[in-house]
Each structure stands twice: as C-alpha cells, then as structure tokens.
Amino acid sequence: MSGNFAVGKQLQLGYERVVAVRPSDVSIPQGKLTAIIGPNGSGKSTLLHALGGLIEPQSGELSVLGGTALASRRRVSYVMQSVTYPEGVPLSVREVVHMGRYPSTGWFGRFRAGDRHRVEEVMERLNVTALARRHLDELSGGQRQRVYVAQGMAQDHDVLLLDEPLTGLDIVSARIIDEIIHDETHAGRTVVHTTHDLDEARAADHVVLMAGRVVAYGPPAQVLTEANLREAYNLGELHEPGGIFIDSPREEC
C-alpha cells in the first residue's frame, strides 16, 4: 500500500483560543508505522486528536484518507491513553471490548455471530480472555491498557491510532501491544502512535518530531538527528556523552 494517510499544510491546532501546534506541514504514510515524538506539551496528543477527527484545525489544511478527518472517522480506530466510563457502572472486560463493535452495529444493534467472533478473537490476541468477567477497576494498568487496545482492534478499521500505548506498562503487556502494532502494519493497515521513547521512534517506519510545531518528519534516520533533537528538546534535556538521553516521560498536550 502506498500514498499518504494524512497530509497537513500550514496546519494549526489547538483548543478554543489556545494554540498547541503552530502552523506546520506534515505527511504520514499509509500502511506504515509512524511514531509521533516530542517533549511534554509539544502537541503530540493534539495532532493525534486531529488525525482522529476529535478536533478541527484552527487554520491550514488537513487531509485524512483523502478527505476530512471527521468524514474518515469510521475507518479510524483511536485508542486513547486514558478512557473514562460512567462512575458506578460495573463494566466487565468483555462489555468494554464489545463497545468496539458499536460503530458497526450501533449502540442498540443486534450482535451477530461475526461480531461475537471478532470480540473473542481480539480478546485472545491481547491475552485478556481470562479477565472477561472482571471489572475494569479490578485490573492493573497494563491489563487495562490491553483491554482498551482490544476494544480498538474490535472496531472495523484501516487505521489504528494509539496515544502512548507502551508508557508505564509491565513487560508482558508492552510486548503484547508491541506485537499487535507490528501485526497491523504487516497486514497493510496504518498505525500512528505517540511516544516519548527515542528507541520506539527509531523502530518506526516514519517519525514526526514535535515541539509546539512539526520540527521534522520522514524516516527515523533523517528526522532523529542530533540537531533536530536539540532543537525539539533544548540543551537542558539532552545529556552526553554516551549518546542523547531524553527525559520526557509524560504528555501534557
């Protein structure tokens, strides 16, 4: 698969009067793994929100799958870093994963055999089948993240967006989710994820480096240069010798 999943031209993003991403050009290839990396408050999650059709550009242009991000939302599955559900509602793991089928069945639609099979299949792939009857508040952080990814995988999609999917996870959960990410691209689907980890970015096919704007985008070797990283992170967050070390564990914007 070739071409671009998304193209932005002089794209400015933000919330109400707050500008989170200054006018930038960017492109993200289709059928590849793209990592969006940058320091806290650099606009990583904001760009992901725009790609998922959750916010509209303040100015400039953004094309997603050849149209607007909003029009393409049914083809895009978005797994957020944190998901909130109504307090006091004891949702089981299986019920949460079932919600991934709602874009196809509707909230009150009838689940068919194919829907049930899809749910059971992704639960098995994310190793949460044994947790099916447990409630979300009974799970560890890693288990909960696997459930959210399973919900995203249950949805019909051509594109998978993930907001810091591996941050703070136990080794087992991180390995399972990492395998899912690479399985998706091997199947020809597009995966875009945010990260603060330089090694994760280097392992991607394509990188978008953020710092309140798009500093650079393209293959990792061309984007993750010392000059670009110094510009994005400032000298105070880079430590040498022994290579560049980035200390930016949490996302704020």
Domain assignment present for 26 = yes
Burial of 20 (0-12, 13-18, 19+ CB in 10 A): buried
- Mean pLDDT across 164-193: 94
Domain assignment present for 56 = yes
| Distance in angstroms (rounded) separating the CA atoms of residues 100 and 83 | 13
Domain assignment present for 188 = yes
Domain assignment present for 73 = yes
Domain assignment present for 94 = yes
Confidence of residue 242 (pLDDT cuts 50, 70, 90): very low
Helices (H) and strands (E) in the chain, counts: 9, 9
Number of domains present in the structure of the chain: 1
For residue range 49-77, what is the model confidence (pLDDT) as tens digits? 999 999 999 999 999 999 999 999 989 99
Strands 214-218 and 206-210: antiparallel
C-alpha pair distances (Å), 32 with each of 2, 4, 40, 74, 77 = 9, 10, 25, 19, 15
Give residue 115's domain range: 4-237
Domain assignment present for 150 = yes
Tokens of 118: 């899809």
| Distance in angstroms (rounded) separating the CA atoms of residues 145 and 180 | 13
Tokens of 115: 């829907």
Q: Give residues with Cβ within 8 angstroms of 107, minimum separation 6.
A: none
CATH of the domain at 162: 3.40.50.300
Q: Give residues with Cβ within 8 angstroms of 181, minimum separation 6.
A: 33, 160, 162, 165, 191, 193
With beta carbons less than 8 A apart as the criterion, state whether 156 and 104 touch. Answer: yes
pLDDT above 70: residue 248: no
Tokens of 229: 């990283």
Look up the pTM and report it. 0.88
DSSP string, 198-209: HHHHHTSSEEEE
Domain assignment present for 253 = no
Instruction: Note the pLDDT of residue 137.
Output: 85
For residue range 100-151, what is the model confidence (pLDDT) as tens digits? 887 766 555 667 888 889 999 999 999 999 999 999 888 898 999 999 999 9
Domain assignment present for 117 = yes
Least confident of 9-13, 49-53, 90-94: 90-94
Q: Give residues with Cβ within 8 angstroms of 144, minimum separation 6.
A: 136
